[in-house]
Chains A and B, each alone.
Chain A
Amino acid sequence: MINLGQDEMAKYPFLADSGQYLKDKGFTLEQFGTDPDLKLIVDKAYHRIEAAAEGKIYRSDIDEHAKDAMLPREVFSFLLAVVLLKLSGMQTLIRRFSLAESRRAEKFLERDLSKFSEKNKEDLAIRILEDLFSIQVKKQNNYFVISVSDYLEHSISFHEREWKLVNRRVDAGLVFLTSHETVRLVRKELGSYINSKIQNANVPTMSDSFKEPVKRLESLAKKFPTIVVSSTEYPPCIKHAIEVLEKGENLPHSGRFMLGTYLLSKGQSVEQIAPLFKNAPDYNEKVTLYQLNHLAGSSGSGTKYICPSCEKLKSQDLCFIIPECDGIINPLQFGKKKIVNA
């Protein structure tokens, strides 16, 4: 556990051991649940969740003059927000809260990282990156440098082309980043870290003062349903593969793998899929059935293979992206549109 000062705790409250923190400050959770004077902080916690749910980043009103009184309140409101979320059990709010809190922490991390003259602060940000996300960051002139392997492990889930290694400044096994980019690299993981901390927290006992805000959270969560709309249209990569086979041209092994796994995932049977390969120049019914059964996991090791990602298909020259692909990362998502806040 990283040792934190008061203001650092306010910036990164998810690093705190909540039980210990309350104890150190001379409070118990029960007090927050019953003491009317502390209701203000429970309200603050509710608003912190509400802001997150609406996609806003909670603003800390850290006033330099009243720092000593303000800072613990910042931490309390975070800890209580977690308590309320646990009591409500609303996953959609937990997700939104984790994301917003990570965006909030990201801003502080970036600021701390770029203030390299204040040696101490840079150290904390660098320590967070190293301890939480195993990224070793060093400063080189105006850049933050990390190893190519660390960079790849953390950037691999980004789909914007600017994050591809080829679009980065790379030299001698190092990637050169700005403070913003360095922190951006762990955004998702920061969110997952906060999320897992909340998931792993014990569900506290319900107290009177918590009942009303928890109820409000439950109705708040109902504002954010997720609706999935599906279309029956095939994605362009699958269409292309089918066309190639229909023309009797050769579809490479990787293309057959994609087509087989895609259609199996869409619920088609091995017997329904096999005839598609009939026109292939090297068609052999027995082999085709064997291979499809293997993909379906009904023979061999029992492993059920899944359709390769768009990225993998791109590298195999099997991707024929169209605007309708709309940022999906696997052909299976094609035509499924998530409408959030509908």
Chain B
Amino acid sequence: MHENDLKLLEESFKKYYFDHFDLIHVPNRPSEREFGFQRFDSGMTRHLAIKDDKELHLMLMNNIPSDVYCSNACYSFPNLPMREKDWKEADLIFDIDAKDLKLDCRKDHTCNKCQSCGEVSVNSPNCPKCQSSKLEQKSVTCKNCIDIAKQEIKKLTGLLADDFNIERKNIQVYFSGNEGFHVYVYDSQYQKLGSRERSELADYLMFRGAIPETFGFNRYKPDRSSFSDLNEEGWRGRLSKHIFSSKSKRSKIISQILTNGYSSFQNQLDEAKNEIGVVIDPNVTMDIHRIFRLPGSLNSKSGLVKQKCDNIEEFNPFTDACFIDDSTTEVLANCPLVFNLKNKKFGPYNKEKITIPKFAAVYMICKGLATSA
């Protein structure tokens, strides 16, 4: 990273942390958590113990981290090496990332940056300048992606409450600070579950691994009377609503399913997963030793805050998570994409020297699509 960029980012991040101690807190049971941080110019420092807000704020001021993390797990000795920590339990966490939603709009807000020469291009498999195939995808946050991600959150929290009996008050949604959301579940019957069990929970929510028998299609003794119905609870009911859509069509569709056969129904179930399953990253949920971005901290991929969303429907990341100040600064921008922040539209910029508010400058520098002039 260029020296000027580093200076601008560190200054902006420091100012945010200094001005917003009120937004950054240690989680519950802080002395049992593992903390970690990264600086802009160095690797990860983890296995830290931080016992309260005061220590956290001191760490932020002393280090001006680019990213701050905290474990979802509680340990007896959070600052010892992993195998000596003595794992006790962990909050259940789900990651909903716009990148995994595979939306059509994705191509409109994604560009490639060549890792060899730094050239930025759109829709090209190789670097147009040096032909290198080592391209890094860069994307900006998009409203459509956020809206669809919100629908997934609704689906997820509904399932958590109905099927897993998790109280709404124990579910907390956070904007990740970049292109997705983290859903935390506190104090549930699932706190002590290990990694493989959490992977099963993830498969359940994603509707992965369902078999025809579960919905009444027995491979060897097909019997139409055992098929699931629309008013049943859990996946039997949800799948019925999805494939039969109404009570009147049920009988006809069952006949069709029986005619098409077992493996065809299995394919139908596999496809249904994309429609009725929740799109989460299962690797995040099953990791019980991970450190997660700390709520209230800045995300160095965007300069936006990992922000608590109390009202998810009305949450607007482009205004509600943008906390870098409005003073102007000059940058050399090479950003072929358009983005919105604090109700202002920015871009596209073709290797232009521009004067813009710091929050937009920081956003582009974090994305690698601008440098400090």
Contact = CB atoms under 8 A, between A and B. Distances in A.
B49 to A, nearest CB: 17
B163 A153 contact: no
B328 interface: no
Given A167-B210, A170-B234, A172-B165, A156 B203 contact: no
Interface in B149-168: 162-166
A149 B190 contact: yes
Contacts of A316: 282-283
A153 B165 contact: no
A149 B163 contact: no
A166 B197 contact: no
Interface residues of B, number: 39
Interface string B68-90: 00000000000001110000000
Nearest to B269: A166
A315 B213 contact: no
Contacts, number: 98
Tell me the dominant secondary structure on chain A's binding face.
mixed
Interface string A165-208: 11111111110000000000000000000000000000000000
B203 A164 contact: yes
Contacts of B236: 169
A73 B318 CA distance: 78
Interface in B14-68: none
Interface string B235-277: 1100000000000000000000000000000000000000000
B9 to A, nearest CB: 24
Most buried by B among A149, A282, A309, A316: A149
Interface string A60-85: 00000000000000000000000000
Contact of B189 (A147, A161, A169): A147
B192 A311 contact: no
A162 B213 contact: yes
A309 B233 CA distance: 32
Interface string A136-166: 0000000000011100110010000110111
B202 interface: yes
Contacts of B7: none
B203 A315 contact: yes
A311 B209 CA distance: 11
Contact of A170 (B163, B193, B282): B163
A174 B165 contact: yes
Contacts of B353: none
A161 B233 CA distance: 20
A149 B197 contact: yes
Contacts of A301: 81-83
A303 B83 contact: yes
Contacts of B81: 301
Contacts of A165: 200-201, 203-204
Interface of B: 81-83, 115, 133-134, 162-166, 189-190, 192-197, 199-204, 207-211, 213-214, 233-236, 282-283, 286
Interface of A: 147-149, 152-153, 156, 161-162, 164-174, 248, 254, 281-282, 301, 303, 309, 311-312, 315-316
